[in-house]
Amino acid sequence: MYLIGLKYAENTRVLVAKLQSVVLVAAQALLLCLPLSAMEQPGPPLPAAVPASPASQPNERWDDIHLAPEQWPSTQVMVGEIDKADDLTRELLRVQWRQGDPIDLYIVRPTGVKRPPVVVFLYSFPAGADRFRDDSFCRAAIRDGFAAVGFATALTGQRYHNRPMKQWFVSELQESLGKSTHDVQALLNYLASRGDLDMTRVGIFGQGAGGTIAILAAAADSRIQAVDALDPWGDWPVWLAKSTVVPGSERDSYTTQSFLEKVAPLDPVKWLPLLKQRSVRLQLAAFDDSVPESVREHLRAALPRGAAFAAYGTVSEYRERAADDGKILQWLHHEIVGKK
């Protein structure tokens, strides 16, 4: 039914991208052995938020990955739901630091661990943070005594609203990446203000577009000590020309000089070499055709000396080496604890 629903909705730009990315989304379902059906479960409604509009924060520059400290004077917080079990506490909050752009934020903490270290999870368009509603995912994510935090990136999931359908994640790539990179920094500010998390030990895991944002955020914010990127998008002139995420009917619009100039400051190939003082791992899956082979080569070549690298030739190899039993988080957990 999932595929049938997408087929009938393919007249819209966003759902076309979803249809073209269905193989990628299925591969994401392997992460931590989470069933695909659990990815997008309907969740509890949150209280009414500030009326949405596409306006951005005044003076916010999406081509600059750095967030000025004075730019976000406060964070508005609404409590949506707090679930408690024997082994975890899961909070669903609605936070807002930008006019018209409320964000549904999940924070999962292990029971009995005082001020746990933190991992921020960012997944690729079109996936949001709905997997945090799945108990099995949450238990895998907080393994080893870590807190897990997640939200949908800009123009994704509950954050796609009040926009013409011709505007979507890729058509507004500068906004999608720049805004989300700022969101990570504003999120870290909020988490630090809570006092119940160890903000001296912070890592970030990102997949696809989320991997791109993870790299950009780590380059912008030294509080992120370890970054693990799985199949990040990047190397924009090549990616936009060849990636299966980009609809063929729109590709010419995204390979113009003006479009490429707008997204050039947000290319992870530019920022990866500068992460010399961080723990960095790049993971690449040959079966993920959203990232062209030449892009994978350029990303690997951009890694700083000493960075970790993992490659998976098949889905079964990825499952065996990374997805099964939550193995994919072992490297990140080790690097965050080792930085203390």
Domain that holds residue 204: 2-40+70-338
How wide is the angle at C-alpha 283 spanned by C-alphas 337 and 338, nearest 5°? 10
242 pLDDT band (50/70/90 cuts)? Answer: very high
By mean pLDDT, which of 46-60, 134-148, 158-172 is the weakest? 46-60
**Cis omega (within 30 of 0) for bond into 117:** no
58: in domain: no
> 290-323 pLDDT, tens per residue?
999 999 999 999 999 999 999 999 999 999 999 8
Report how far Cα 150 is from the mean position of its chain's Cα atoms: 8
Residue by residue, DSSP assigns 12-73 as SHHHHHHHHTHHHHHHHTTGGG--GGGTT---PPPPP-SPP-SPPPTT--TT-----GGG--
51: in domain: no
Could you tell me which residue, 47 or 277, shows the higher pLDDT?
277
> 210-235 pLDDT, tens per residue?
999 999 999 999 999 999 999 999 99
- Specify whether the CB–CB gap between 292 and 239 falls below 8 A: yes
CA-to-CA distance for 289 and 245, rounded, in angstroms? 9
Residue 39 has pLDDT above 70, yes or no: no
Domain count, the chain: 1
Q: What is the pTM of this model?
A: 0.86
65: in domain: no
User: Per residue, what are the HEC states of 127-191?
Assistant: CCCHHHHCHHHHHHHCHHHCEEEEECCCCCHHHCCCCCCCCCCCCCHHHHHHHHHHHHHHHHHHH
By mean pLDDT, which of 50-54, 80-84, 136-140, 295-299 is the weakest? 50-54
> 189-216 pLDDT, tens per residue?
999 999 999 999 999 999 999 999 999 9
Q: What is the dihedral sign for C-alpha 231, 236, 238, 241?
A: positive
Mean pLDDT of 176-184: 97
CA-to-CA distance for 327 and 318, rounded, in angstroms? 10
104: in domain: yes
Q: What is the CATH number of the domain that holds 24?
A: 3.40.50.1820
142: in domain: yes
